[in-house]
Amino acid sequence: MKGCCILSNALIFCSYIFFPCLGISVLAECLDCPELKATADDFIHQHFTEVYKTDEFLQLDVKRVTHLLNQDTLTVRAEDQVYDAAVRWLKYDEPNRQPFMVDILAKVRFPLISKNFLSKTVQAEPLIQDNPECLKMVISGMRYHLLSPEDREELADGTRPRRKKHDYRIALFGGSQPQSCRYFNPKDYSWTDIRCPFEKRRDAACVFWDNVVYILGGSQLFPIKRMDCYNVVKDSWYSKLGPPTPRDSLAACAAEGKIYTSGGSEVGNSALYLFECYDTRTESWHTKPSMLTQRCSHGMVEANGLIYVCGGSLGNNVSGRVLSSCEVYDPATETWTELCPMIEPRKNHGLVFVKDKIFAVGGQNGLGGLDSVEYYDIKLNEWKMVSPMPWKGVTVKCAAVGSVIYVLAGFQGVGRLGHILEYNTETDKWVANSKVRAFPVTSCLICVVDTCGANEETLET
């Protein structure tokens, strides 16, 4: 037991250098320390993308490598990295490991590898070209991409997803001027620029799904019909056909491969009941059942597969009544249900989902800016007030990473937010970070993105 404690301390040290965690796992097994072995294995799986590049991994025996590569809990950006690990191990001692090639590569889930990587990199690998059994695996992976989503669901073997590696940032888009589009990294509070070729839109919406940010709606002199798309991994921009009804002051969110847009207003008109859906797989737009209440300048989030819409106003003009009403849409039944209203009517507020709670942050009512914050308890169908912001703004741009909500931009009516604000949803505490300046474009768009793979040398060519 004493030896296990020593190894446990060594494993903590491993968290900084990724070595020798594989050796600790083997030794824990020999010493019959199941708890330590489980801890070591979990560490190996969680940091697999670093572990497989060490000499220790390359020196593992075939039994341990096949077992490791077969784990669902390997944390990777994509299955490409599992393939890379398998090929690295085989090539480390190719003459002696040739007989194990089929066994090792059989643990790679080729259907989960992108078509581009399969055709350009995997098929060109000499190890695979010279082995008919391995070529069959690659071909089966290529065939998988030709199947319909329904047919894919029937193929359970070889298509189970691994544990996804994440690197969350908050992206803000404020136009094509220098430093008008940036990432905020909550790990070190740093700002980095995003290249953007498109001019700023007024009162648009943005949403992130599957490596791509979709910027929808809004206007310049006239409503914008196109949808601008930014691939965060490839750092590339392109455009698609936007919502069928061009408008501004709409809200958007993503769920299960679909982009949903709600409400908004056409130029000079009152708020809309409209609810539309873009299928990212078929690249087509569909009109869905209208909301129960017309609204614009509202908030919308996805939570546990359902779409929640909160607040807003009946129009963009001064007389447009500010709303406290909320409703939820179930994509499975295509029905709307009215929910408990917010305690305080608000528009232009932040709306974020954190651990079964939906937080409404700031915004404005009929009298002016708000510092109040409230959350909706999904299980209880009720709203509760929490600690107010240490700042009052008529527009709030915020996003949540983990249990923390970051307010990164906002407008007071006479001035903008100077420094970022942080709210810990677990402790109900606000912190004004005087060392980090807020984003300067108060009318920006904001969303959380996963940049995993964007800042590393990707395997795909």
CB 387 within 8 A of CB 431: no
Domain boundary among 127, 157, 187: 157
**DSSP H helix total and E strand total for the chain:** 13, 26
CA angle in degrees (0–180, nearest 5) for 24-28-34:
130
Instruction: Give the mean model confidence (pLDDT) for residues 241-256.
Output: 95
**Chain centre to alpha carbon of residue 447:** 9
Residue 461 covered by a domain: no
Instruction: Give the mean model confidence (pLDDT) for residues 200-222.
Output: 92
State the pLDDT at residue 155: 64
Instruction: Give the mean model confidence (pLDDT) for residues 193-221.
Output: 91
Q: Are residues 115 and 85 in the same domain?
A: yes
Q: Are residues 220 and 256 in the same domain?
A: yes
Domain boundary among 129, 157, 185: 157
Q: Are residues 101 and 246 in the same domain?
A: no
**Quick one: what percent of the chain has pLDDT higher than 90?**
70
Closest CA to 28 of 58, 50, 3: 3
Closest CA to 401 of 441, 352, 451: 352
Number of domains, the chain: 2
Residue 218 has pLDDT above 80, yes or no: yes
How far apart (Å, rounded) are the C-alpha atoms in residues 372 and 384? Answer: 11
Q: Are residues 67 and 192 in the same domain?
A: no
How far apart (Å, rounded) are the C-alpha atoms in residues 98 and 123? Answer: 18
Domain boundary among 118, 133, 157: 157
Q: Are residues 148 and 177 in the same domain?
A: no
Q: How confident is the model at residue 18 (pLDDT cuts 50, 70, 90)?
A: very low
pLDDT tens-digit readout, 399-450: 999 999 999 999 987 889 999 999 999 999 999 999 999 999 998 999 999 9
User: Between 439 and 147, where is the model more confident?
Assistant: 439
Residue 344 covered by a domain: yes
Residue 134 covered by a domain: yes
Q: CATH no. for residue 66?
A: 1.25.40.420
pLDDT tens-digit readout, 275-334: 999 999 999 999 999 999 999 999 999 999 999 999 999 987 666 799 999 999 999 999
Q: Are residues 84 and 182 in the same domain?
A: no
pLDDT tens-digit readout, 53-95: 999 999 999 999 999 999 999 999 889 999 999 999 999 999 9
Which letter does DSSP use for residue 204 in this model?
A: -
The one-letter code for the residue type at 400 is A
- Using DSSP's 3-state secondary structure scheme, residue 284 falls into strand
Residue 13 covered by a domain: no
Ranking 24-33, 92-101, 201-210 by mean pLDDT, the lowest is: 24-33
Q: CATH no. for residue 382?
A: 2.120.10.80
Give the residue ranges of DSSP H helices in 154-267.
Answer: none
Instruction: Give the mean model confidence (pLDDT) for residues 10-37.
Output: 72
- Count the residues in the chain: 461
What is the average pLDDT value for the chain, to the nearest integer?
90
Q: Are residues 131 and 189 in the same domain?
A: no
CA angle in degrees (0–180, nearest 5) for 286-291-292:
155
Instruction: Give the mean model confidence (pLDDT) for residues 38-42.
Output: 90
Residue 8 covered by a domain: no
Q: How confident is the model at residue 461 (pLDDT cuts 50, 70, 90)?
A: very low
CB-count burial class (<10 Å; 0-12, 13-18, 19+) for 460: middle
Q: Are residues 54 and 175 in the same domain?
A: no
Q: Are residues 284 and 398 in the same domain?
A: yes
Residue 36 covered by a domain: no
- End-to-end CA separation in angstroms for the chain: 49
Q: How confident is the model at residue 454 (pLDDT cuts 50, 70, 90)?
A: low
Instruction: Give the mean model confidence (pLDDT) for residues 368-379.
Output: 96
Q: Are residues 63 and 134 in the same domain?
A: yes
3-state SS, one letter per residue, for 354-381: ECCEEEEECCECCCCEECCEEEEECCCC
Q: What is the CA radius of gyration of the chain?
A: 25
State the pLDDT at residue 232: 93
Residue 1 covered by a domain: no
- Using DSSP's 3-state secondary structure scheme, residue 353 falls into strand
Q: How confident is the model at residue 32 (pLDDT cuts 50, 70, 90)?
A: confident
Q: How confident is the model at residue 4 (pLDDT cuts 50, 70, 90)?
A: low
Residue 179 covered by a domain: yes
CB neighbour burial string for 247-256, b if at least 16 within 10 angstroms, e if fewer: bbbbbbbbbe
pLDDT tens-digit readout, 225-237: 999 999 998 899 9
Q: Are residues 230 and 350 in the same domain?
A: yes
CB 446 within 8 A of CB 401: no
State the pLDDT at residue 77: 85
User: Between 402 and 178, where is the model more confident?
Assistant: 402
Q: What is the dihedral of CA 453, 457, 460, 461, to 10 degrees?
A: 140
Identify the domain containing residue 330 by its residue range.
Answer: 166-450
Q: Which residues pair with 401 in a beta bridge?
A: 404
Q: Are residues 118 and 175 in the same domain?
A: no
How far apart (Å, rounded) are the C-alpha atoms in residues 146 and 139? Answer: 11
State the pLDDT at residue 273: 97
State the pLDDT at residue 17: 46
CB 105 within 8 A of CB 86: yes
**Quick one: what percent of the chain has pLDDT higher than 70?**
91
State the pLDDT at residue 166: 86
CB-count burial class (<10 Å; 0-12, 13-18, 19+) for 76: buried
